Amino acid sequence: MGKFLEKFPDPLARLIVVVVALAALGAFAYFVLIPKPVKDIEKQWADAIKREKARPVRYAGFQACEECHGEVQAKKKTGYHRDLSCETCHGPAKAHTEDPDKVKPTIPTARAFCPQCHAYNPSRPRGFPQINPVAHNPLKPCTSCHNPHDPKPPTTPKECSACHGEIARMKAVSHHVQLECTVCHEAPQQHKVSPRSVKPSKPQSREFCGKCHGRDAKEKLAANAPKINLAEHGEKYVCWQCHYPHSPEVEQ
């Protein structure tokens, strides 16, 4: 060994010794001292997956309640809340399925609970039933009129604004404030029961708006409405392709 190293200049020889020693030490540490799991990434991933899968479940799932609460499910299945999981309102219930007598899910009765979904909010989709929680039967708990498992209102709403809150509110501060929804839309009674399958009608032609806004309009209500020449105004488009009927803007 000494003979071999003598071939090299002194500093190089010493460095070779040091490097080889360090490499040997490193190799020993890596291959012998360090336990396999620390080096094996595939094993670490497999263990992580196992651990992840073993995490406790808190929500039992929409099918878990049927077994014991079949009658409630049957009632819910035909109502407006049929698409909701039980746990949407009752909170996580896995613990309840495991020990039904000791652990009970919450039964939300506070008035603040339902407006979390049903309070009026202009960002909510059109047609979603919304109320003003301050004005709508104040102080009464929601459940006194609405069965949460079949929440149809005690009486069929007369006003369209019950579900079409945004449109109603927009219209209320627009030029069309005096027009009832039924002036332009025919809503069969069935629409209030089964809104998605039976839709109200909508005007189809320019002449409809012309009944109030044409030059020769005869409607009493339209006495002060702006009048246009139906034949020339707005090229080939129907009126609502430019004007939003629920808040008809006019060029200033």
Partner 1 sequence: MNGRRSFLRGFLTVLLSGGTIGGILQILPSKADAREAPPKGQKWYGFGVSIEKCIGCARCMDACKNENNVPKEPFFVRTWVERYITRKNGQTTVKAIAPGDEATPEAASDRTILRSFFVPKLCNQCANPPCVQVCPVGATFQTKDGVVLVNEKTCIGCRYCIQACPYGARYLHPASHTADKCTFCYHRISQGQLPACVEVCPTQARVFGDLNAAASPMSRFLRMNKIHTLKPGLNTEPKVFYANLDGEVR
Partner 2 sequence: MNPELIRSLQELLPQIQGYIYPNEIEIHWGLLIVVYPYITGVVAGAFILASLVKVFNVKEVQPLYRLSLLTALAYLLVAPMALVSHLGHPERFYEILLTPQTSSAMAMFGFVYAWYLMAVLLLEIWFVHRTDMIDMAEQSTGAKRLLYRVLSLFSKDKGERAVAFDHSALKVITIVGIPSAFLLHGYVGFIFGSIKANPWWSSVLIPIVFLFSAIVSGIALVVLLYMIITPLTGGKINMKCVDKAVDFLFYAVIVDFSLEMVDFIHRVYQSEEEIKILSEMVMNKLFASLIIIQVLLGMLVPLLLISLTKIFKKRFSLNEDMRKMVYFISVILIQFGIFATRWNVVIGGQMFSKSFRGLTTYKMEFGGIEGLLYAIVLLALPIAILFVLLKVLPPWKELREEGETGAEALGSAGM
Please give the residue ranges that form the binding site for partner 2 (CB under 8 A). Answer: 9-12, 14-15, 17-18, 30, 34, 38-41, 44
The DSSP output letter for 214 is: B
Residue 30 or 237 having the CB closest to partner 2: 30
Taking CB under 8 A as the rule, which mask of x and - marks residues 177-196 in contact with partner 1? Answer: --------------------
154-174 burial code (b ≥16 CB/10 A, e <16):
eeeeeebbbbbbbbbbbbeee
Q: Does 55 bind partner 1 (CB under 8 A)?
A: yes
Which does residue 129 touch among partner 2, partner 1, none (CB within 5 to 8 A, set by kind)? Answer: none
Query: Which residue among 91, 108, 195, 234 contacts partner 1 (CB under 8 A)?
Result: 91
The CB-of-161 to partner 2 minimum distance in angstroms stands at 31
The CB-of-134 to partner 1 minimum distance in angstroms stands at 8
Query: Which residue among 99, 123, 155, 205 contacts partner 1 (CB under 8 A)?
Result: 123
Q: Does 95 bind partner 1 (CB under 8 A)?
A: no
Query: Which residue among 2, 122, 138, 154 contacts partner 1 (CB under 8 A)?
Result: 122
Torsion of CA 72, 73, 77, 83, to 10 degrees: 110
The DSSP output letter for 125 is: P
The contacts of residue 193 (CB under 8 Å, 6+ apart) are 152, 156
The contacts of residue 215 (CB under 8 Å, 6+ apart) are 227, 228, 229, 230
Q: Which residue has the tokens 């929500």?
A: 59
Residue 39 or 202 having the CB closest to partner 2: 39
Give the integer Cα–Cα distance in Å for 83 and 201. 27
Residues 91, 102 contacting (CB under 8 angstroms): no
Which does residue 137 touch among partner 2, partner 1, none (CB within 5 to 8 A, set by kind)? Answer: none
Residue 41 or 134 having the CB closest to partner 2: 41
Query: Which residue among 69, 75, 111, 124 contacts partner 1 (CB under 8 A)?
Result: 124
What type of residue sits at position 1? M
Length of the chain equals 252
Q: Does 59 bind partner 1 (CB under 8 A)?
A: yes
Which does residue 92 touch among partner 1, partner 2, none (CB within 5 to 8 A, set by kind)? Answer: partner 1
Give the integer Cα–Cα distance in Å for 212 and 205. 13
The DSSP output letter for 19 is: H
Chain residues in the site for partner 1 (CB under 8 A): 41, 44-45, 47-49, 51-59, 61-62, 81, 83-85, 87-88, 91-92, 115-117, 119-125, 128, 132-133, 169-170, 172-174, 247
